[in-house]
């Protein structure tokens, strides 16, 4: 598996990949190729965007997208999207991509990573295994319109 930075030239392939993953179990979301392309393009346009793909001779197998922000003397990375191809999940590819991302972020001088995911899901188990913890100090607040 080769890991490299995402470029804008990858976005069309990544959008198809992303909608295939999140329209399937366990998320069963409702992404069209158009809406997922907009989602990923918006991520890529964020200042200090940093994304990585894992690929082999079958094509893209995993994707991580996010951006870092200055916070006082620190850099904090916000992981916006992370996924592995449906038929390749559970093979350790997500763990390898997370390690590659971690190495890349350390090169960049990032001190901390945040992500948002749904409670009590396989994704929470995955992030827990990858060293993330549920913050005892911070809460996500939301308001509906
Ligand atoms: C969640 C996801 C990124 C994990 O990547 P992966 O390559 O499948 O995970 P790995 O094979 O590297 O597994 C690493 C660990 O994560 C946990 N894990 C992974 N998939 C899991 C599942 N379906 N249920 C419970 N734990 C799981 C396990 O603890 C596993 O360790 P183990 O193999 O020692 O048991 C991947 O399954 C995925 O893309 N899922 C759909 C999209 C998604 O949920 N993205 C993240 C949230 S936005």
Compute the distance between CA of residue 107 and CA of residue 128 in angstroms, rounded to an integer: 23
State residue 131's pLDDT score: 97
Which atom in ligand 1 lies closest to the alpha carbon of residue 84? 39
Distance 86 CA to ligand 1 centre (A): 11
Rounded to a whole number, what is the distance in angstroms from the first to the last CA of the chain? Answer: 44
State residue 25's pLDDT score: 96
Residues in the chain predicted with pLDDT less than 50, given as ranges, are none
State residue 114's pLDDT score: 98
Compute the distance between CA of residue 12 and CA of residue 9 in angstroms, rounded to an integer: 7
Residue with CA closest to ligand 1 atom 5 = 94
State residue 23's pLDDT score: 98
What is the token pair recorded at 54?
A: 């894992």
From residue 85, alpha-carbon distances to 80, 93, 124 in Å are: 17, 9, 18
Distance 90 CA to ligand 1 centre (A): 6
State residue 31's pLDDT score: 98
Domain range annotation of the chain: 2-129
Domain 2-129 fold is Aminopeptidase (3.40.630)
Q: Is residue 82 in contact with ligand 1, taking CB distance under 6 Å?
A: yes
The pTM is what? 0.96
State residue 137's pLDDT score: 96
φ, ψ of residue 48 to 5 degrees: the values are 65, 30
DSSP label at 145? -
Q: How far is CA 90 from the centre of its chain?
A: 16
State residue 99's pLDDT score: 98
Residue with CA closest to ligand 1 atom 28 = 126
On whether the CB atoms of residues 4 and 53 are closer than 8 A, the answer is yes
Residue with CA closest to ligand 1 atom 19 = 126
The tens digit of pLDDT for each residue in 34-60 reads 999 999 999 999 999 999 999 999 999
Angle at 91 between CA 89 and CA 93, to 5 degrees: 80
Name 67's bridge partners: 49, 78
């Amino acid at each position: 598996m080769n890991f490299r930075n995402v470029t804008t030239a990858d976005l069309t392939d990544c959008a198809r990949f992303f909608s295939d993953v999140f329209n399937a179990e366990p998320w069963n979301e409702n992404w069209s190729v158009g809406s997922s392309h907009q989602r990923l393009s918006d991520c890529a346009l964020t200042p200090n965007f940093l994304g990585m793909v894992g690929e082999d001779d079958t094509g893209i197998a995993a994707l991580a997208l996010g951006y870092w922000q200055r916070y006082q003397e620190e850099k904090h990375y916000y992981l916006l999207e992370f996924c592995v191809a449906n038929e390749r999940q559970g093979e350790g590819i997500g763990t390898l991509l997370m390690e590659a991302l971690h190495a890349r972020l350390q090169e960049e001088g990032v001190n901390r990573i945040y992500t948002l995911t749904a409670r009590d899901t396989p994704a929470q188990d995955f992030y827990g295994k990858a060293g993330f913890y549920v913050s005892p100090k911070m809460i996500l607040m939301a308001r509906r319109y």
